[in-house]
Amino acid sequence: GEDIGVDKTLFKSLSERSKHEDFIRRAADLLVERVVFGRSQRTSKVVEWAAPEDIKKAIDLKPREGPVSHDVLLGLMADVARYSVNTAHPYFVNQLFSSVDPYGLVGQWLTDALNPSVYTFEVAPVFTLMEEEVLREMRSIVGWKDGKGDGIFCPGGSIANGYAISCARFYYYPEIKSKGVYSVPKLVLFTSELAHYSTKKMAAFMGIGSDNCILVKTDSAGKIDVADLELKINQSLDGGSTPFLVTATAGTTVYGAFDPIVEISALCKRYNLWLHVDAAWGGGALMSKKHRHLLSGIELADSVTWNPHKLLAAPQQCSTFLIRHENVLKEAHSSNAKYLFQKDKFYDTSYDTGDKHIQCGRRADVLKFWFMWKAKGTEGFEKHIDTLFDNAKYFLDHIRNREGFKLVVDQPECTNIMFWYVPKCLRGCENEPDYKERLHKVAPKIKELMIKEGSMMVTYQPQGHLVNFFRIVFQNSALDHKDMVYFANEFERLGTD
């Protein structure tokens, strides 16, 4: 008969489409059933421990010459999930992120399905506007009038802290952009000895030098010692260096301590220094009327790092850098690439916001957070934060009086609680010469047991002269007081001599 070439093509594309559609539907089912909900019950394991050799044997990791079937791909998905840590599990309390927010997850899926790159309005119209709205609201929550200033979503808090160094340096020495480090005096910056390591790392990366990131003493609660900060500023000046930046921390990584921002700001004003607040961890507390006092004075900062993927439990990765000064980000970083940021486009090119970033291609990390915000409202975030602090206090009070637990910081300020678990065999041995050495070995041993059983996941670390202690982190508001008792019971069970 008749030539039905056009129809044949149509049939072919329909059958291709239904093949892919079928695969996507089966994969989505698997994600929902096996990854999201199937593994986040309290009765399931936090982690299916396997040694590297076991994982290599269990999953065919090597890329192959030929394709595999959809069934094999679905099997691979299941294997990847099986051997991955179940960070959505209520007992994953190991890191400063955890849990799965259904709206955040769907926002993340939508982002990936749309696959945008947020540099121009042309290719990311909605995301460009969405970023502006969300960042303005965050600045307003920080306390900057009408949300004025600027900001970006960027890949992680470390990079955000690096942006602070770059913006501060450019603000005082705009010639740095074209002439480089040769054109400026020997610059030094300050942060506390308990601040996140990224400030030192970024000082090295940016040619300032890690030795010129001067670490300031902290008190017993982990807060920066403002007198020592002033002493070190003066020592630097006397030594011929030029201080330009102080990074205060609102929620330190291990202790969760909040530096006294008002006092630090007064010093910054006196010595004409940029004040950056690294609120990557503690920033979420700004959403709570009850707890935002912890960041008192944050509105005095020149810039702020705030990671919604931490206390606010947005999916990884969602980090922001907020700045009070309107044009510094753009002036410090723009390069006006003609192939992307043409000024003669037919629309208002001020919406092509990508040039203020040091990245070019960039994920739309805003969407998942915006979607969560829409789903719960600011009041939902407030409830979430208040629940976290309530759980943390319950856990703290519970272990304070429970035999075998010894607090590292008596009154932690954030939702991370630090403690030693002292097994029965070590109790009463505090004055023996090898006590510290033996206690140091307890946390790694308990950690090994919990991972191998998959019953919970809690991190540990030494700090200064202190031997290994646990840091349990609460940022999953699906947990309740019963879970707090579970954790304590679990330490006791695993720590049986």
- For residue 99, which of 305, 381, 309 has the smallest C-alpha distance? 309
Q: Which of 47, 93, 96, 248: binder of ligand ABU (CB under 6 A)?
A: 96
- Cβ distance to ligand ABU smaller for residue 96 or 142: 96
| CB 96 to ligand ABU: min, Å | 4
Residues 15-44 that bind ligand ABU (CB under 6 A): none
Contacts 24+ apart (CB under 8 A), 419-427: 419/469, 419/470, 419/472, 420/467, 420/468, 420/469, 420/470, 421/446, 421/470, 421/491, 421/492, 421/495, 423/495, 423/496, 423/497, 424/496, 424/497, 425/497, 427/403
- Cβ distance to ligand ABU smaller for residue 196 or 324: 196
- Cβ distance to ligand ABU smaller for residue 353 or 415: 415
| CB 279 to ligand ABU: min, Å | 12
Asked if 210 contacts 249 with a C-beta cutoff of 8 angstroms, the reply is no
Alpha-carbon distance of 149 to 326, in angstroms, equals: 4
The 10 Å CB-count burial string (b at 16+, else e) for 160-171 is: bbbbbbbbbbbb
Q: Which of 90, 143, 149, 157: binder of ligand ABU (CB under 6 A)?
A: 157
DSSP letter for each residue of 211-278: GGEEEEPB-TTS-B-HHHHHHHHHHHHHTT-EEEEEEEEBS-TTT--B--HHHHHHHHHHHT-EEEEE
- Cβ distance to ligand ABU smaller for residue 196 or 384: 196
The tokens of 391 are what? 């759980």
Tell me whether strands 213-216 and 274-278 are parallel, antiparallel or unpaired.
Answer: unpaired
| CB 98 to ligand ABU: min, Å | 9
DSSP state of 459: E
- Cβ distance to ligand ABU smaller for residue 152 or 268: 152
Q: How many residues bind ligand ABU (CB under 6 A)?
A: 5
| CB 412 to ligand ABU: min, Å | 14
Q: Which of 95, 241, 316, 349: binder of ligand ABU (CB under 6 A)?
A: 95
Q: Phi and psi at residue 247, in whole multiples of 5°?
A: -105, 110
| CB 313 to ligand ABU: min, Å | 13
Should residue 417 be labelled a site residue for ligand ABU when binding is judged by CB under 6 A?
no
- Cβ distance to ligand ABU smaller for residue 147 or 283: 283
- Cβ distance to ligand ABU smaller for residue 320 or 353: 320
- Cβ distance to ligand ABU smaller for residue 95 or 242: 95
Q: How many CB atoms lie within 10 A of CB 17?
A: 10
| CB 263 to ligand ABU: min, Å | 25
| CB 414 to ligand ABU: min, Å | 12
> Torsion angle of alpha carbons 161, 165, 167, 172, nearest 10°?
160
Tell me whether strands 187-192 and 213-216 are parallel, antiparallel or unpaired.
Answer: parallel
| CB 157 to ligand ABU: min, Å | 5
| CB 473 to ligand ABU: min, Å | 7
- Cβ distance to ligand ABU smaller for residue 250 or 332: 250
Q: State the helix-helix crossing angle for 198-205 and 157-172, rounded to 10 degrees.
A: 50
Residues 187-206 that bind ligand ABU (CB under 6 A): 196
- Cβ distance to ligand ABU smaller for residue 96 or 100: 96
Q: Phi and psi at residue 53, in whole multiples of 5°?
A: -65, -35
| CB 310 to ligand ABU: min, Å | 8
Q: Which of 166, 253, 353, 477: binder of ligand ABU (CB under 6 A)?
A: 253
Classified as helix, coil or strand, 192 is strand
Please list the residues that pair with 190 across neighbouring strands. Answer: 214, 246
Residue 114 amino acid letter: L
**Cα three-residue angle 360-362-367, rounded to 5 degrees:** 155
- Cβ distance to ligand ABU smaller for residue 40 or 94: 94
Asked if 117 contacts 362 with a C-beta cutoff of 8 angstroms, the reply is yes
Q: What residues line the site for ligand ABU (CB under 6 A)?
A: 95-96, 157, 196, 253
